[in-house]
Amino acid sequence: MTTQQRARLEHLGQTGLRIDIGDLTVLVDPYLSNSVQELDGSDLVRQVPIPYQPQELTMVDWVLITHDHMDHCDPHTLPALAAASPQARFVGPLAVRKQLAQWGISADRIGPSPVEKLHLGEGLQVMAVPAAHPKIRLDQDGQPQTVGYVFERNGQRVYLAGDTAVCDELFTSLKQLAPIHAALLPVNEDNFFRRRRGIIGNMSVREAFGLAEEVGIERVVAVHWDMFTVNSTSPAEIRAVYQAYLWPFDLCEVTELKL
């Protein structure tokens, strides 16, 4: 059955995403603080305004986390968010769940990244897929330590990759879920200088676009290029690579996606 009310999608910076459908609010990797600069390095200055203060978000139903790195699993966001939205449930890989528990979030509010479809409400479903950051690694239970999420509603599938490189296993997982109509793909490429700084990069712009082409994705949103100067990619570079080749998909903003 088709649910007529459209979802409203909002990019929160990095791989952060907010989805609103009726009374349902879902957040993915909300980084709503300056914790990385304060706790990791003074050169990691936030370049994107904080769109919401965690304590203001009293309506959140689900928080999905891709992995336990601070700019995705934020110690200054998630505990405050859990207090502001006591109804919110949290989902993530094992290391994320352990971290959430250490922050005092009760066990009955924490669940694993779904290997089968998880119903979030308002016709929205989600399923986790492995992510290679920089390689696919499994936890003690044989589940991926880092994941992306595929959302499905009204026959539309949207893939939020989180942090990942391109690898054969990722292609296999995504092709099994085809068709995927849209994807939010990280384009802060891995390189020598970032590795020397201790930063694990993701796909290059060309790799992200190549992934979309091979999987048959129709719409692409480039993400994870905006938050920190030392880990950034120029929007002009993204656009130049898109315009220089005949890519078989639309490069768009997250607000243009259908779900």
Q: Residue 132's beta-bridge partner residues? A: none
Strands 219-223 and 182-186: parallel
Residues in CB range of 142: below 8 A, 6 or more apart: none
Residues in CB range of 201: below 8 A, 6 or more apart: 134, 165, 188, 189, 190, 191, 194, 195, 231
Across the chain, mean pLDDT equals 97
Phi, psi of 225 (to 5 degrees): -120, 0
Angle, helices 235-244/205-215, rounded to nearest 10 degrees:
50
Give the strand order in the sheet containing 110-112.
8-13, 16-21, 24-28, 62-64, 89-92, 110-112
pLDDT at 107: 98
Residue 1 has pLDDT above 60, yes or no: no
Residue type, 109: R
Distance CA 66, CA 75 (A): 14
What residues does each domain of the chain span? 8-254
Q: What is the pLDDT of residues 170-180, one digit of tens each?
A: 999 999 999 99
CB atoms within 10 A of CB 254: 19
Q: Residue 132: which pLDDT band, with cuts at 50, 70 and 90?
A: very high
Residue 22 has pLDDT above 80, yes or no: yes
Asked whether 211 and 185 are in contact (CB, 8 A), the reply is: yes
Please give the average per-residue pLDDT across 2-16, as a whole number. Answer: 89
Dmax over Cα atoms in the chain, in whole Å?
A: 51
Please give the average per-residue pLDDT across 88-107, as a whole number. Answer: 98
The strand ranges marked E within 113-167 are 118-121, 124-130, 147-153, 156-160
The whole-model pTM stands at 0.96
Instruction: Tell me which of 224 and 2 has the higher pLDDT.
Output: 224
Q: Residue 149: which pLDDT band, with cuts at 50, 70 and 90?
A: very high
CB atoms within 10 A of CB 195: 12
8-254 placed in CATH 3.30.70.20: no
Q: What is the pLDDT of residues 242-255, one digit of tens each?
A: 999 999 999 999 99
Angle at 182 between CA 247 and CA 242, to 5 degrees: 25
E strand or H helix at 37: helix 35-39
Asked whether 60 and 81 are in contact (CB, 8 A), the reply is: yes
Q: Residue 3: which pLDDT band, with cuts at 50, 70 and 90?
A: low
Q: What is the pLDDT of residues 211-258, one digit of tens each?
A: 999 999 999 999 999 999 999 999 999 999 999 999 999 999 999 999
pLDDT at 56: 98
How far are the Cα atoms of 50, 151, 209, 241, 249 from residue 245, in angstroms, in the given order?
34, 29, 10, 7, 11
